[in-house]
Every structure is written in structure tokens, then in C-alpha cells.
Chains A and B, each alone.
Chain A
Amino acid sequence: MKKVPLVVRQADVTIFNRSLYLERQAIAAYVAGIPLLNMSEAKVAKQFLNQELEHAGELLGLIAAAGGKPIPRAPSYDIGHPRDAREVFTILHGLEANQIATYLNAIPRLSPGPVRAAVASILANDAQHVSILRLELGDSPAPAAFVTGRE
């Protein structure tokens, strides 16, 4: 089925670029962290990495549809210096939670509706990542009825 092109406002490009930065930061963290995980952990993390790449692609598509220009990749991203799996999961949890909080602030400012829905579909996936990362850290995977990124 052919996807109907979204109408995207130029005014929203700044929001998408801010989100793109955070997605790329998370991608960098997954790439750096996966070698520190055991095989089964790494399998899940690689899946999440691919999904973060999909999010970045979605944002790049929205920026292009708005006629905007994506921010260039940073030479490096501040992702800390994890030494073991627990530290990797802690860093990833923080980055995913920060993305959730950023998307929640952005969504009410976005228009039209289908663009909000597209961004909400990314946010919901990041919330699922948080659930699994919390499990890995020994925490409850769905601690609150309202996901805010502060859990």
C-alpha cells in the first residue's frame, strides 16, 4: 500500500531536529554498550538499536517533508563511560526516558494531527524500551499509569 505523504510544517523542523539529536545520542549509546552485554542481552539491545535507527529515519523523513535541513551528526555524543552491563542499562534507561520527556513536550506543539500520531508512535516504542531496560535493572517494568519519562 502506498503511504500517503504527510503535510509537515516548516515551523516544526526545530522540534524534529532536537529529537533527532537525542535519537542519535541513543544510537551511539547502544553501539557503545552492546559489546559489554552478554549474548541474550545483546540480542535485545541490537533490536532496540535498529528501532532507534528507524526512529531517526522517521524524523529525517518528517524534516524532509517540511523542506527542512537535518542537523549534522555530532562528532561525538556524551554517553558516559559504562564499564559493565548494569551501567550500560542505566545509561540507556536515562537516555530513553529523556527522549520520552522530550517527545511529550513536543507533541502538543506539533501539527497537523497525523504528525502528532507519527511522533507518538515513536514515543510509545521508547516507553517499551524503558520497560525492558527496567526489567534488566531489576525494577518494575510499568511503574506508572501515565508514562512521563520521569519514572
Chain B
Amino acid sequence: MPSQRTRRELLGRGVLAGGLGLAGATVLLPAEAAAATAAASAPPSNIAVLGRLVRLEELILYAYQHVLASSLLPSSAQPVVAGLRNQEQAHIHALSAALSVLGGTSPAGPVNLAAADKDLSHRNVSQRLGQLRGGKDALRLLLAIEHVAEGAYYVAMSELSGPTLLRLGAEIMASEAQHATVLTVLLHPVDLTQAVPYGLVQGRR
């Protein structure tokens, strides 16, 4: 088992809607109501799911970039976190390309810190990028958002269709799970059991 220092060195090696409006005069016939109910329970389209995932990945990328630019992280963690940031960029490129093939348009990322923090709040992440108080705080925020990513991909695996997108979704979900593990090792380098706490990865939803 590598020592704490050795483990840090290893990590540092370059890893490293609408709905049915009842207002107004519209009255649905039974057949229309049945069709509307079916539409409401139908799975979202691949375009919708991919758009949702790109939007989340853009937020994650923003968070990584903000943390890296803040100089809050110890120097040993910087290359590790930069490596994870690069992988998030690769996820965005792949998802955006898939979205483009389907005729969709990739949503933009957060326009500023306030927008990013608002989105984090919307996703029930308690930490704020604008209120980070040190390296551990920053790593905890990144870990929390990786758990959100795990949950988003877990849901997406039920909704996506087609072998290429399903494989892509599964490969990225596994990558986000690895990111959570790496971030936990940075937070708790002595006890590796904390890095893989659950046998079934479902993230935060």
C-alpha cells in the first residue's frame, strides 16, 4: 500500500412545462387526454437528455476551472484536478458532437460566478464557488458536483436510446464515478475505503 506521500505523487502523475393548461377554453376530448397523458409519461428525447447532460457538464467544467484558478488547492492536488478538468472537457466535446448529429444545439455554460452558484443551489449542492474557504472546501464542492453527475447519468441511462449513446453515457458515468474516487482520495489519502463507499453507484438525484 503506498504511503500518503507516494499516493499523492501517483495521483499527481497527470491523471491524472408546460403540462396541460386548464386555463382558457380548451377542453380535451378523452382520446386527446389519453394521448396527452401518454406524452407526459413518455421518456424524454435523446436531444433533451443530451442537452441536460451538456448543461451539467458545462457547470462542472466551470467549477473545476474556478477552483484551479483560485489557487486554493495545494500544489500536489493541482495537476490531479487539472487532469479531471481535461476529462470533463472531453465529455462536453463528445456529448456536444452527439447532440449536433441529432440536430440539437449545445446549451451554454454559466455566464458568471453568480449563475454557477445559482445552478449549484438548484441542484442541491450546499457549497458555493464564491464562498470557498480553502483547498478541502474546494475539493468537497467538486466531489459534491461529481455525485450530482453520477446521479444525472444514472437517470440518463434509463432515458437514452440507441447503442452508441448508451455506451457513451455508460463510459462517462463510469468516468464521473472515478473522479469521485480520486477526489475522495485527495481528501482522505490515508483511508482508501472512503473512496468507494457504495457497491451501486447512483449518485445524488
Number of interface residues of A (CB under 8 A): 51
A85-139 contacts to B, CB under 8 A, are 100, 103-104, 107-109, 112-114, 116-118, 120-132, 135-136, 138-139
- A100–B174 CB distance below 8 A: yes
A135-151 contacts to B, CB under 8 A, are 135-136, 138-148
- B157–A146 CB distance below 8 A: no
Stretch from B22-30, B64-72, B110-118, B196-204 contacting the other chain: B196-204
Say if the beta carbon of A44 comes within 8 Å of chain B.
yes
B149-173 contacts to A, CB under 8 A, are 150, 153-155, 157-159, 162-163, 166-173
B183 — nearest CB in chain A belongs to which residue? A142
Stretch from A8-16, A35-43, A64-72 contacting the other chain: A35-43
- B10–A139 CB distance below 8 A: yes
- A116–B171 CB distance below 8 A: no
- A125–B158 CB distance below 8 A: no
Summed over the interface, the residue pairs from A and B with CB atoms below 8 Å come to a total of 158
Contacts of B168 on A, CB cut-off 8 Å?
A: 146
Contacts of B176 on A, CB cut-off 8 Å?
A: 124
Say if the beta carbon of B134 comes within 8 Å of chain A.
no
Given contacts A128-B181, A146-B94, contact A107 B10 (CB under 8 A): no
B6 — nearest CB in chain A belongs to which residue? A138
Q: Is the interface of A mostly helix, strand, loop or mixed?
A: helix
- B13–A140 CB distance below 8 A: yes
Range, interface on chain B:
35 or more
Contacts of A112 on B, CB cut-off 8 Å?
A: 158
Given contacts A120-B157, A128-B196, contact A135 B177 (CB under 8 A): no
Bound: A138/B202 CA distance, A? 28
Contacts of B7 on A, CB cut-off 8 Å?
A: 135
Report A57-81 CB contacts with B as 1/0, cut-off 8 Å. Answer: 0100000000000000000000000
Given contacts A117-B155, A125-B199, contact A141 B181 (CB under 8 A): yes
How near does chain B come to A131, taking the closest CB pair, in angstroms? 5
Given contacts A120-B153, A138-B10, A145-B87, contact A107 B1 (CB under 8 A): no
Contacts of A44 on B, CB cut-off 8 Å?
A: 192-193
How near does chain B come to A101, taking the closest CB pair, in angstroms? 11
Say if the beta carbon of B61 comes within 8 Å of chain A.
no
Mark B residues whose CB is within 8 Å of A. Answer: 1-2, 7, 10-11, 13-16, 43, 83-84, 86-88, 90-91, 94, 150, 153-155, 157-159, 162-163, 166-182, 185, 192-193, 195-196, 198-202
Mark A residues whose CB is within 8 Å of B. Answer: 38, 40-41, 43-44, 47-48, 50-52, 54-55, 58, 100, 103-104, 107-109, 112-114, 116-118, 120-132, 135-136, 138-148
Additional A-B contact list (17), CB under 8 Å, known A131-B182, A140-B11, A141-B178: A51-B199, A54-B199, A121-B154, A124-B150, A124-B174, A125-B196, A130-B178, A131-B178, A135-B185, A139-B10, A142-B87, A142-B178, A145-B86, A145-B87, A145-B88, A146-B94, A148-B171
